A and B are shown apart, each in its own frame.
Chain A
Amino acid sequence: MKKNLDLQYAAHVTTLTNKIKESYQSNANTMRELIAELDRQYKGIQQLFVNPKTGQINLNAMIYYKAPNQFPVTVINLEDKIEDRSTITFW
């Protein structure tokens, strides 16, 4: 079942997405899967956020994840699960 997500993009990320936010439906279960999915639409976003050598989040990238009714936290682990109706900020 698809998840309904609120995605926000800031600063240089907007040069890839051409928008600062969107409501997005996704099949992704983890942050890694979501980024891979987004990369099909916004080519280059995976390169911004995922280190090709380590497979971990790039040290010079930030993602905030806000689960429903929770406060945002910084994403360190790309295997973190994504919940329906969460808000994710990429910068």
Chain B
Amino acid sequence: MSARENSVQKILRVDLSSRNTYTEVLPKEWTAKYLGSRGINARLLFNEVPAGTDPFGTDNILYLGTGPMDGLPTGNGRMSVACKGPRGSVAEGSFGGFFGPELRRAGFDYIAIRGKAEKPVYLFIHDGEAEIRDASHLWDLTTDKTDAALRRELADANVQLRYIGPAAENLVHSSVIMGNINNSGGRAGCGEVMGSKKLKAIAVRGTGRIRVADYPGFIEAYQMFRKRLDLATSRDPWTPVWSTYGAPVLARLFTDIGNLMTRNAQEMRWDEEKATRIGSEVYLDKYVTKGKACFGCPWPACQKLYQIPSGKYQGFKGGNYWAGQPVVFGSLIDNDDLDLILVLSGLCNQYGLDVFHVGYTIAWAMECYEKGILTREDTDGLELTFGCQDKDGLIDLVRKIAYKEGFGELLAKGCSEASKIIGHDSERFCLSVKGQELEGIAERNLYMVALGIAVSEVGPDHTRWYPPYPCNPNLMTKEELSSLGIDLDLRLAFQGRNPEEKGKLLRWFTISRAVIESLPGCVFLVRDTLGFDKRPWWQLFQSATGTALEYSEFLRAGERLMNLDRAFHVREGFGRKDDRVPIRMATEDVPFFNYPRITDDVFNHMLDEYYQENGWDLKTSIPSQEKLLELGLDDVAKSLKDISMESER
């Protein structure tokens, strides 16, 4: 295949019901207006999936989107996957690896999949062509076995793959799409939707090239970008930590400051020795076999592959032990056995389960057990106590969740649905928002996190407004921020338990991430200046695509995406009433530290500020007509004009 012009974005349309495929070229003006990847996915989703569409029906569309920066040497193997999720709103996530660049080399930037196959199929895309092939022999295979089987079948070790495991095939809540064995994405429901279409996998192989529009300009921009990542001069306190030791270092650091969810967040402080036993230092020393990076990433490999060296689970292999697992399989369930954490995490990857769903739902069940709400009769005889005495039972429970067997069938629904079924007021300690389980970050000590997880349309997803942790307020001067058009008092904004400036800060971080994820790019590579200064990325984008736009317009693309997500959300009937923290965080103080619960006054103050800064209605969260027209979203404005809803504020 020949080289492609990088500002032209193509979409492969697939209808699994009729088994038809065809190609479309997206409007050229979309590149400047929405950039690509997540931005264009959001535009397509709003245009093509009307309100009331059945998430598991044939009219729901699963979008996989790369973007004009994918396949370029800036660490951009990222891509976005989006659809209408089973919880009723936007389901969107991203993953890294190598699939995005390969798809672009095959001649496509997006895939839009509608319909439903009669029997399991996989999609094979190669150099401008697409085939729908039988996947009956792959159905029910775990993700690692699917990966191996497809590589053998296609006789090509360089083919790139995305696939689901048994969990998504069984429509387990929050199941994910996997790739490159350990990369997962789309936890808000994309895996379930893919499973509902009986689409087991997508394979892609491409030999084309991606031509940068302005090569000298790109090199100059790239040098600026790389300078910002220099470990010696980066302004980001997490750069040195993340690039070498990774996020599991947080377990040991956060237990001291009340940031570590312990025993289903009944406490926020864990035993220091236990936290040390599951931290990065031990992990790197005893378990890691190899570092692994995504396509073209300039950072030291942040992904790590591991193997359990000895003991009962000797030989078990997996990858990507990061920030979530030390919490959800560690402190949250009071387990300090790192072998067990790595087995549970690895099994989730193999089954295609979302680690947060599994961890928080098990923790909820443990608290139910502790309170006598659930007994051994309910749990198939499993002694479901915090501390995890029955390790084999717990491992088998993960399998049961993937296959909806026995007690696993209840937990497969997620803690929100499960708590409604069980009752006994167990909703009070189900840690979820909009039906989606939390991640691993504290809310009662970090008010911006509380606001961020509450307002996110996909449910808790810190990557949509990363970074969650406050940094040195001297990071940028007021003059620097002002020159970038940002009006923020960092001293107030970075005070964890002060509600002031949190709405503003969240807005800026959300726009920042929206821009990066639309290029696409990796959130870890923008951490210098915490993403306040996007000028290196703006220069990279312009030189890569040949699309000239003002810096303010580059940022405006992120604001457009933010409003498209919210527009889809309110069109489905969601609103202010749904932007809430979990009940526990709103009703219980943090013991030992005495951090107060997040009161209505505090929360509403932050939420009002966030809506106001965004130009959204304070009662309903609907974006104002004025804001939508300002952003050039005239059609969206028209679509929302007649929507009204009661506020339960």
Docked-complex contact A61 and B237, CB < 8 angstroms = yes
Chain B nearest CB, measured from A78 CB (Å): 12
Docked-complex contact A71 and B258, CB < 8 angstroms = yes
* Cross-chain contact of A11 among B233, B241, B256, B475 (Cβ < 8 A): B241
Over the window 1-42 of chain A, the binary record of Cβ atoms lying under 8 Å from chain B Cβ atoms (1 yes, 0 no) is: 000000010111011000010000000000000000000000
Q: What are the residues of chain B within 8 A of A76 when measuring CB–CB? A: 472-474
Chain A nearest CB, measured from B645 CB (Å): 41
* Cross-chain contact of A10 among B252, B258, B472 (Cβ < 8 A): B252
Rounded to whole angstroms, the CA-CA distance of A91 and B251 in the bound complex is 13
Given contacts A59-B237, A60-B237, A61-B237, contact A71 B257 (CB under 8 A): yes
Q: What are the residues of chain A within 8 A of B475 when measuring CB–CB? A: 59
Given contacts A10-B252, A20-B276, contact A60 B281 (CB under 8 A): no
Docked-complex contact B244 and A11, CB < 8 angstroms = yes
Docked-complex contact A59 and B281, CB < 8 angstroms = no
* Cross-chain contact of A91 among B236, B253, B471 (Cβ < 8 A): B253
Name which residue of chain B comes closest to A20, CB basis.
B281
* Cross-chain contact of A12 among B240, B276, B474 (Cβ < 8 A): B240
Q: What are the residues of chain B within 8 A of A74 when measuring CB–CB? A: 470, 472
Rounded to whole angstroms, the CA-CA distance of A20 and B236 in the bound complex is 22
Q: What are the residues of chain B within 8 A of A71 when measuring CB–CB? A: 257-258, 593
* Cross-chain contact of B249 among A11, A15, A59, A87 (Cβ < 8 A): A11
Rounded to whole angstroms, the CA-CA distance of A72 and B595 in the bound complex is 13
Rounded to whole angstroms, the CA-CA distance of A14 and B256 in the bound complex is 18
Q: What are the residues of chain A within 8 A of B241 when measuring CB–CB? A: 10-12, 91
Name which residue of chain A comes closest to B233, CB basis.
A60
Docked-complex contact A89 and B240, CB < 8 angstroms = no
* Cross-chain contact of A60 among B235, B244, B280 (Cβ < 8 A): B235
Chain B nearest CB, measured from A69 CB (Å): 12
Q: Does A62 contact B (CB under 8 A)?
A: yes
Q: What are the residues of chain B within 8 A of A64 when measuring CB–CB? A: 253, 256-257
Interface size on B, residues (CB 8 A): 28
Chain B nearest CB, measured from A32 CB (Å): 16
User: Of residues 36 to 91 in A, which have CB atoms within 8 Å of B's CB atoms?
Assistant: 48, 56-57, 59-62, 64, 66, 71-72, 74, 76, 87, 89, 91
Q: Does B407 contact A (CB under 8 A)?
A: no
Chain B nearest CB, measured from A53 CB (Å): 10
Q: Does B30 contact A (CB under 8 A)?
A: no
Rounded to whole angstroms, the CA-CA distance of A12 and B240 in the bound complex is 7
Chain B nearest CB, measured from A67 CB (Å): 13
Docked-complex contact B474 and A59, CB < 8 angstroms = yes
Chain B nearest CB, measured from A74 CB (Å): 8
Q: What are the residues of chain A within 8 A of B231 when measuring CB–CB? A: 60
Name which residue of chain A comes closest to B241, CB basis.
A11
Q: What are the residues of chain A within 8 A of B6 when measuring CB–CB? A: none
Name which residue of chain A comes closest to B240, CB basis.
A12
Over the window 224-253 of chain B, the binary record of Cβ atoms lying under 8 Å from chain A Cβ atoms (1 yes, 0 no) is: 000000010111111111001100010011
Chain A nearest CB, measured from B36 CB (Å): 30
Given contacts A71-B258, A71-B593, A72-B256, contact A11 B276 (CB under 8 A): no
Q: What are the residues of chain A within 8 A of B257 when measuring CB–CB? A: 64, 71-72
Q: What are the residues of chain B within 8 A of A10 when measuring CB–CB? A: 241, 245, 249, 252-253, 280-281
A-B contacts counted at CB < 8 A amount to 66
Rounded to whole angstroms, the CA-CA distance of A87 and B256 in the bound complex is 10
Docked-complex contact B240 and A11, CB < 8 angstroms = yes
Docked-complex contact A89 and B474, CB < 8 angstroms = no
Most A CB contacts (10 A, CB to CB) among B238, B249, B276, B472 go to: B472
Rounded to whole angstroms, the CA-CA distance of A8 and B276 in the bound complex is 11
Q: What are the residues of chain A within 8 A of B276 when measuring CB–CB? A: 20
Q: What are the residues of chain A within 8 A of B472 when measuring CB–CB? A: 57, 59, 74, 76
Q: What are the residues of chain A within 8 A of B253 when measuring CB–CB? A: 10, 64, 89, 91
Name which residue of chain A comes closest to B234, CB basis.
A60
Rounded to whole angstroms, the CA-CA distance of A59 and B532 in the bound complex is 15
Name which residue of chain B comes closest to A59, CB basis.
B235
Over the window 197-236 of chain B, the binary record of Cβ atoms lying under 8 Å from chain A Cβ atoms (1 yes, 0 no) is: 0000000000000000000000000000000000101111
Rounded to whole angstroms, the CA-CA distance of A48 and B231 in the bound complex is 10
User: Of residues 551 to 565 in B, which have CB atoms within 8 Å of A's CB atoms?
Assistant: none
Chain B nearest CB, measured from A9 CB (Å): 9
Chain B nearest CB, measured from A90 CB (Å): 10
Chain A nearest CB, measured from B589 CB (Å): 14
Docked-complex contact B249 and A91, CB < 8 angstroms = yes
Q: What are the residues of chain A within 8 A of B258 when measuring CB–CB? A: 71
Q: What are the residues of chain A within 8 A of B237 when measuring CB–CB? A: 59-62
Rounded to whole angstroms, the CA-CA distance of A59 and B490 in the bound complex is 14
Q: What are the residues of chain B within 8 A of A20 when measuring CB–CB? A: 252, 276, 281
Name which residue of chain A comes closest to B496, CB basis.
A74
Rounded to whole angstroms, the CA-CA distance of A64 and B238 in the bound complex is 14
Rounded to whole angstroms, the CA-CA distance of A10 and B283 in the bound complex is 13
Rounded to whole angstroms, the CA-CA distance of A10 and B235 in the bound complex is 18
Rounded to whole angstroms, the CA-CA distance of A18 and B360 in the bound complex is 35
Q: What are the residues of chain B within 8 A of A66 when measuring CB–CB? A: 256
Chain A nearest CB, measured from B71 CB (Å): 30
Over the window 442-472 of chain B, the binary record of Cβ atoms lying under 8 Å from chain A Cβ atoms (1 yes, 0 no) is: 0000000000000000000000000000111
Docked-complex contact A89 and B234, CB < 8 angstroms = no
Name which residue of chain A comes closest to B276, CB basis.
A20
Chain B nearest CB, measured from A72 CB (Å): 5
Q: What are the residues of chain A within 8 A of B245 when measuring CB–CB? A: 10-12
Rounded to whole angstroms, the CA-CA distance of A48 and B454 in the bound complex is 36
Rounded to whole angstroms, the CA-CA distance of A10 and B474 in the bound complex is 23
Docked-complex contact A89 and B256, CB < 8 angstroms = yes
Docked-complex contact A56 and B474, CB < 8 angstroms = yes
Rounded to whole angstroms, the CA-CA distance of A59 and B234 in the bound complex is 8
Rounded to whole angstroms, the CA-CA distance of A11 and B283 in the bound complex is 11
Rounded to whole angstroms, the CA-CA distance of A91 and B247 in the bound complex is 12
Q: What are the residues of chain B within 8 A of A56 when measuring CB–CB? A: 474
Name which residue of chain B comes closest to A54, CB basis.
B474
Rounded to whole angstroms, the CA-CA distance of A48 and B606 in the bound complex is 36
Rounded to whole angstroms, the CA-CA distance of A10 and B255 in the bound complex is 13
Rounded to whole angstroms, the CA-CA distance of A61 and B236 in the bound complex is 8
Chain B nearest CB, measured from A25 CB (Å): 21
Closest 3 CB pairs of A and B: A11-B245, A59-B235, A11-B241
Chain A interface (Cβ < 8 Å from any Cβ of B): 8, 10-12, 14-15, 20, 48, 56-57, 59-62, 64, 66, 71-72, 74, 76, 87, 89, 91
Chain B interface (Cβ < 8 Å from any Cβ of A): 231, 233-241, 244-245, 249, 252-253, 256-258, 276, 280-281, 470-475, 593
7 examples of A-B residue contacts, CB within 8 angstroms: A8-B252, A11-B245, A11-B281, A59-B237, A74-B470, A76-B473, A76-B474
